[in-house]
Amino acid sequence: MRVTPPSQSSPPVSSLLIFRPLLVVRVFRSCDPIPIVLIDLELSFHEMENPFRSAPVRDPYEVLGVSRASSDLEIKTAYRKLALKYHPDTNVGNAVVSEYFKEVAYSYNILSDPDKRRHYDTVEFEVVYLQPHLSIVDRMSEGTSLVIETSENGTDLSPDDTGTIEEMPEDTILSRQTSVNLVPFIGQRFVSQDAAYEFYCSFAKQCGFSIRRHRTRGKDGVGRGITRRDFTCHRGGYPQLKPSDDGKSQRNRKSSRCGCQAYMRIVKRADFDVPEWRITGFSNIHNHELLKSNEVRLLPAYCTISGDDKSRICMFAKAGMSVRQMLRLMELEKGVKLGCLPFTEIDVRNLLQSFRNVDRDNDAIDLLAMCKNIKDEDPNFKYDFKIDAHNRLEHIAWSYASSVQLYEAFGDAVVFDTTHRLEAYDMLLGIWVGVDNHGMSCFFGCVLLRDENMQSFSWALKVRSLVGIFGHAGPSLWVKLP
């Protein structure tokens, strides 16, 4: 069966999309060629002259200029030639060419998909509605891999290169439907590489994969700097073989890379001396399964801890909270469900471990220097410390001027509480507290003890230490809390 287009007076699709969808009725095969019937629904449409489009819907084979027996490679080559010739970037301001480019892309969307092409070859046009809101970007996101690649000089594709295009496997798994505003398209502009990376990262997260920075052209600080950047799927490429050592045991960990060809390429251009980055290549065809929304957030690229969250985790760790308590508290603060934070328990533990690995050789010296500076500014500030046999800080106790005054007034009974620990340094934190005339707690001072033994507590509770800090002998009654 061949498709017979309507008369020349039929309105083009560009005008139909403005007012109302056009109903196309499916006609089954028969002995005689039967034209497709177009029902106008008794609506008037504005005419638009378009030399490229003589009918609202044309045969995709006719649009691409190929036969029904053409292979996938021939269809792809024909699409590339037409797309490069009628691309909006090379025909700026030409609305007619832009409409024809959309028709070419829509035809390729049908013929490039094996199921759609097989269905079209079997029953021709089915009952479909041309949706007014469906743009060319929507159709590309439904399964068409953009294969146009332009360069700084215009294009990377020459007529001689069309015969070397590699075929994509037919069983490729495409991404799920995404928002129109998040789908990359050829010619899209960005102010910087980072802006393009963030945009593609958002698109990848919605589709179910993550990205990584790949090869570049140029080098920062040399000549024009980096002029091209490729972003690829996190499963792109192949794992590198590591030399095996029979004497050492290795982890049996499978690589996630499987040679995925999904990518986005950006090129740096300077129009009117204003540098910008444009998308010149994009493919969203994957050879692996895409993750669900509740799985994609567990990819390392999306398990990030913001600066504010790092500060709060550090504060919680200093307060002696466990990792699970931190996560539960942050879930309540952010109002998210259990286990829905943008990071996991392992990420928090790794962050805390990185804090512990910081060089602390000079921390004791810095602490003593800080106490000395406070003492110089406030003579009533009191502190005392002890050095071990290796000239390292073993214990330190301190009290502020206001605490000394409170001790002089309400120091008849003192409680020494050692409930808390400083996990970062594995030191015991002891505090002296009391009660004033109104029944309110009074803070008298603090002490850090290296070991939790009799010698450490004896040093903290000695009268000479208390005299050195508080200025007179200790109270008549001591209560020690475990």
Residue owning tokens 């002490």: 447
| Residues contacting residue 172 through CB under 8 Å, at least 6 positions apart | 285, 286, 287
Residues 424 and 456 in one domain: yes
Per-residue pLDDT tens over the stretch 425-480: 788 888 888 999 898 999 888 889 988 888 888 888 774 445 455 555 445 444 44
Q: Residue 294: count other Cβ atoms within 10 Å of its Cβ.
A: 9
Count of CA atoms in the C-beta half-sphere (13 A) of 146: 27
Residues 425 and 395 in one domain: yes
The residue behind tokens 């120091």 is 411
Q: Domain end: 107, 134, 161, which one?
A: 134
- Counting the structural domains of the chain, the total is 4
Identify whether 248 is part of a domain: no
39 in the same domain as 148: no
- Three-state secondary structure string covering 49-87: CCCCCCCCCCCHHHHHCCCCCCCHHHHHHHHHHHHHHCC
Within a domain: residue 110?
A: yes
Question: What is the model's pTM?
Answer: 0.41
pLDDT at 455: 87
Residue 280's alpha-carbon distances to 154, 209, 426, in angstroms, are 10, 21, 55
Q: How do residues 121-140 score in pLDDT, each as one tens digit?
A: 776 544 333 333 333 333 33
The verdict on residue 399 lying in a domain is yes
Flag whether 149 is in a domain.
Answer: yes
Residue range of the domain that includes 9? 1-134
Say what the pLDDT of residue 308 is: 87
The low-confidence residues of the chain, meaning pLDDT below 70, are 1-57, 123-181, 241-255, 271-273, 356-361, 424, 463-482
Query: Both 149 and 289 in a single domain?
Result: yes
Judgement on whether residues 26 and 106 belong to the same structural domain of the protein: yes
Given this model, what pLDDT does residue 360 score? 64
Cα–Cα distance measured from residue 2 to residue 355, given in angstroms and rounded to the nearest whole number: 72
